[in-house]
Amino acid sequence: MPALAITTVDYHTAGEPFRIVTGGVEPLRGATILDKRRDAAERLDHVRRLLVFEPRGHADMYGCHVTEPNDQGADLGVVFFHNEGYSTACGHGTMAIGTWALESGRIELREPETRVVVDVPSGRLECVARCAGGRVESVRFRNVPAFVLARDVEIAGITMDVAFGGAFYACVEAPAHGLTVEPRRLPELIALQRELRPAIEAQIDVVHPLEPELNGVYGVIFFQAETGDTFTQRNVTVFADGEVDRSPCGSGTSARLAVLHERGDLAVGDELRHLGVVDTEFRGRIVAASDLAGRRAVVTEIEGSAHLTGRHEFVLADDDPLGAGFLLR
């Protein structure tokens, strides 16, 4: 007999998987999304492990719990999870959850555009879905203010900028350090990310000025100019415990826009064509300059497309010796 049976709907956004819990799990508790995030970690972490870990998932799996929003100003709330725990932001997941909410009928789909408001741990995101033929063609979300925390930080011979785009990222120009953004270099990029994360946190205080729970280096973005033009770049983001983002990384794109604006490369109104390691793309645009607790910040919009990949029921049998699973990497 199954000890646990959980249903999900799976999407990919620009190649990056996203597993949405739709049944078999009791609601998360708490008044806010941050409260619910803590509840998921403390009380329901076996669900994350079951859906992310092998043999039902893999080291690069991503997913979420769908929750009630913080208040009636939003349509739904989301708590994201991955191989290490629970992230504060996920751009590709936001695009997938907006697509799922409309295509599943949870929110009425209207053409040519439908507005969806989502509460995530980093804040409230205004999303707009472009719709045609009863389907969602793309989702763009207006992110929380993005800002540069530190410029030209040097650690272990690597120079980087540290920026916030919903989570904190270190941005490393790959060619400047003899690296390239391509699949064959992933093992060394993963190893470098695992080395850099704790070293950065030992050197600088990585914490949001308004919300202490938004802290720590989530990922390292390895980027390169694609055409000698700052308006097109390629990146691979390695985050959590060596997890590789197949998409161009939505919250990471916001962080990159903050860095490019700070350095004078992109102005308000400019758009970045951001490519990922599997040749998919997001479009990121700076829509306004902002201020965040005395820091220069930017408001960004990121757009991409999500596609349905499957509907599943994952079962944990009561005699399964592997329990919720394992990770080999």
What 3-state class would DSSP assign to 210? coil
Among residues 64, 90, 131, 249, which one is catalytic?
Answer: 90
**Other C-beta atoms lying within 10 Å of the C-beta of residue 68:** 16
Per-residue pLDDT of the chain (329 residues), as tens digits, is 578 999 999 999 999 999 999 999 999 999 999 999 999 999 999 999 999 999 999 999 999 999 999 999 999 999 999 999 999 999 999 999 999 999 999 999 999 999 999 999 999 999 999 999 999 999 999 999 999 999 999 999 999 999 999 999 999 999 999 999 999 999 999 999 999 999 999 999 999 999 999 999 999 999 999 877 779 999 999 999 999 999 999 999 999 999 999 999 999 999 999 999 999 999 999 999 999 999 999 999 999 999 999 999 999 999 999 999 999 98
The Cβ of residue 72 has, within 10 Å, a number of other Cβ atoms equal to 7
Give the Cα separation of 113 and 82 in Å (integer).
30
The per-residue pLDDT for 285 is 98
Structure tokens at 318: 């009561």
Catalytic annotation on 90? yes
Question: Three-class SS of residue 258?
Answer: helix
Say which residues have a Cβ less than 8 Å from residue 161's Cβ, sequence separation at least 6: 148, 150, 151, 152, 153, 170, 171, 259, 262
* Model pLDDT for residues 278-309, shown as the tens digit of each residue: 999 999 999 999 999 999 999 999 999 999 99
